Amino acid sequence: MVVAQEFLLQECKNLRDLLDKTLRYKYEYAESRIFYDECSERLASLERAIGATTDADALGHEVIHLNELADLICRLERSSISEHSWPFVHELKRIASAICTEDTLAGSNTPNEIYVLADGGLHTYRIHPEDRRPSYTKKRLLTIVFPKSLKHFVLLHSILGHELGHAIWRCSKHGSEMRQQVETHIREGVFASPAATAAHIYSHSAPSKEKTFLGACDPQMQATTLFQGFADWRAWCEEILCDLVGLVIFGPSFVASECELLSSMNPAMTGFGAQHPPTAWRLNYLLDGAKILGHDARPPVSHPLRADIDAFWAHLEDFRSTDPWYSIFTEDQLRRALNGMKALLSRYPPAEYPIPTFERLEHLVPMLKRKIPPVGFRIANDGSLNCENVDFRHILFSGWITKASQPTMPVDKINQLCEHAIMQQIAVDISLAP
C-alpha cells in the first residue's frame, strides 16, 4: 500500500470519528439523521474509491472530495449555533426548498437540505452549492453563509437571491434550463463571445477612469488574453444570470441591497474581478431590469405614498453609471432573459416576487414611520382584529422605501422593525391557516 493511500484511508477514519461526534445525539434527532446518513454514504463511497486505487491522479481527485466533505461537516456543526435571523431564514428556506430540487435516487423532485451559518464580514454572503460530490446519493446539503457582522441585517439579506441563482445553476433539474438563457439571450452584442466582451472593455469608447484602471493592470491583461489568463468569461455569464434570478425572486429590495453593498465594497466603481463582471455594469442592468419587470410602478401623484416611492427609486438611480459603455444589454435582450427566468421560477411558488398593490404598501410604510413592525394585521373600528397574509419581501420593500424617504430615521432601527415584522407575520400566517 502506498503512503498516500494509507494516509488518506486514515483520514477517512478521522472523518468518520468527526462525523460521529458532530451533533449526533445532541440536537433534534430527525434533522441530524439526514446529514449523518448522507455524509456517511459519501464517506463510505470515498473509502471504497481510495481503497481500490494506488494511482496518483485518482488519489489526488479523492483528496479534493475528502477535504470538501471535512469542510461541509464543519459548516454543519457551526450551523447549529443558529447565529442568524431565523424569521428571514424561515422564509428563505421556503423559497429554496421549492426551487432547489433535484432528480436523485430518492425521487425526481428531492428538495435540498439547507443549513445556515454566520461568518466573516461584508464579502461572506454565499451559498455552497455542492457542485462536486463523491457520490450521487440522496441529497445535496446546501450551506448558506451570512456575514457575521450583518447576521440580523435582513434588509441586505435579499442579496441571497443571487446566491440561490448559483444553487439553481448547479442543480441537475434546472441548471441546464438556466444555462440555456445564456445561450439564447445573453450571447449577443457585448456578450456574443469572450472576444466581443474583451473588445468592449478595451474599446476607445470606454470611460477614462476605466482606461486608467486597465492601464494599471498587469501588462499581460490585454483584450486578446483577458479571458485566457485572468478572467473566466463563463463565470461572468453565471454571475449575470444569478443577478437576474435575485431580481426575479426578491424584486426592489434585491436591487437596493446590491446597489448599497456592491458600491460600498467597490467605492471607486471601476474595474472587475476574475469571476465577476464590472460592478457598474451589474447595477445598470439591475436598474433596467426592475423597470422591465414593472417593479418601479408608481401610484397616482395624489397617492399618499407617491413621494416616498419616488424617493426610493431616485436614490437607486444615483447608483447608475450614465456613460453608454456601462449599459451592456439592449432592453429587448434583457427582457427576453428576464422572461426566461420568470418562466422557470414562476413554476415553483413562492419563488417569483409578487408585485405588491399600492394599498399593501400604504398599510406597511406608515407603520414603519410610526416605529411599528409592518405586519398584516389591523384593528377595526369595532375593536376586532383583521389579519392578512403579507409576503416578507413586501416587508423588506417597505423597509427600503422608509429608509430612502425618512433619512433621519436610523437604518438599524428600520431593519430591526422589519426583522420583527417578518417574525410576527409568521405568527399571523399561523392564525390564518385553516
Which C-beta is closer to Zn ion: that of 271 or that of 299? 271
Q: Tell me how far apart the terminal alpha carbons of the chain are, to the nearest angstrom.
A: 64
Smallest distance from the beta carbon of 126 to Zn ion, in angstroms? 8
Smallest distance from the beta carbon of 239 to Zn ion, in angstroms? 5
Report which of 410, 316, 397, 406 is spatially closest to residue 364, judged by C-alpha positions: 397
Smallest distance from the beta carbon of 304 to Zn ion, in angstroms? 38
How many positions of this chain bind Zn ion (CB under 5 A)?
Answer: 2
Phi first, then psi: what are they for 107, rounded to 5°? 155, 165
Which C-beta is closer to Zn ion: that of 62 or that of 239? 239
Q: How far is CA 335 from CA 123, 338, 339, in A?
A: 29, 5, 6
Smallest distance from the beta carbon of 159 to Zn ion, in angstroms? 10
- 364-403: contacts with Zn ion (CB under 5 A): none
Question: Contact, 42 vs 133, CB < 8 A?
Answer: yes
Which C-beta is closer to Zn ion: that of 87 or that of 246? 246
Smallest distance from the beta carbon of 262 to Zn ion, in angstroms? 11
d(Cα 128, Cα 130) in Å, to the nearest integer?
6
Which C-beta is closer to Zn ion: that of 194 or that of 273? 273
Which C-beta is closer to Zn ion: that of 238 or that of 352? 238
Question: Contact, 114 vs 81, CB < 8 A?
Answer: no
Report which of 397, 427, 402, 425 is spatially closest to residue 412, judged by C-alpha positions: 402
Which C-beta is closer to Zn ion: that of 236 or that of 326? 236
Smallest distance from the beta carbon of 388 to Zn ion, in angstroms? 35
Phi first, then psi: what are they for 116, rounded to 5°? -130, 140
Smallest distance from the beta carbon of 163 to Zn ion, in angstroms? 7
Sorted by sequence, the CB contacts under 8 Å of residue 286 that are 6+ apart come out as 243, 247, 254, 255, 258, 259
Smallest distance from the beta carbon of 242 to Zn ion, in angstroms? 5
Smallest distance from the beta carbon of 165 to Zn ion, in angstroms? 7
Which C-beta is closer to Zn ion: that of 242 or that of 249? 242
Smallest distance from the beta carbon of 225 to Zn ion, in angstroms? 24
Which C-beta is closer to Zn ion: that of 102 or that of 239? 239
d(Cα 373, Cα 371) in Å, to the nearest integer?
7
Report which of 431, 414, 421 is spatially closest to residue 371, judged by C-alpha positions: 414
d(Cα 307, Cα 327) in Å, to the nearest integer?
28
Which C-beta is closer to Zn ion: that of 195 or that of 274? 274
Per-position x/- string for 186-225, each x denoting binding to Zn ion as judged by CB under 5 A, each - no binding: ----------------------------------------
**Contacting range for Zn ion; rule: CB under 5 A; set: 195-203, 232-240, 302-310, 326-334:** 232-240
- 233-252: contacts with Zn ion (CB under 5 A): 239, 242
Amino acid at 194: P
Place of cell 458532530: 22
Which C-beta is closer to Zn ion: that of 239 or that of 419? 239
Phi first, then psi: what are they for 151, rounded to 5°? -60, -25
Q: How many CA atoms lie within 13 A of 183 on its CB side?
A: 6
Q: Where are the beta strands (DSSP E) in 27-140?
A: 101-104, 107-111, 113-119, 126-128
Smallest distance from the beta carbon of 234 to Zn ion, in angstroms? 13
Which C-beta is closer to Zn ion: that of 38 or that of 239? 239
Report which of 163, 78, 158 is spatially closest to residue 116, judged by C-alpha positions: 78
Q: How is residue 356 annotated by DSSP?
A: P
d(Cα 13, Cα 6) in Å, to the nearest integer?
11
**Cβ-count burial of 420 within 10 angstroms (0-12 exposed, 13-18 middle, 19+ buried)?**
middle
Q: Where do contacts with Zn ion occur on this chain (CB under 5 A)?
A: 239, 242
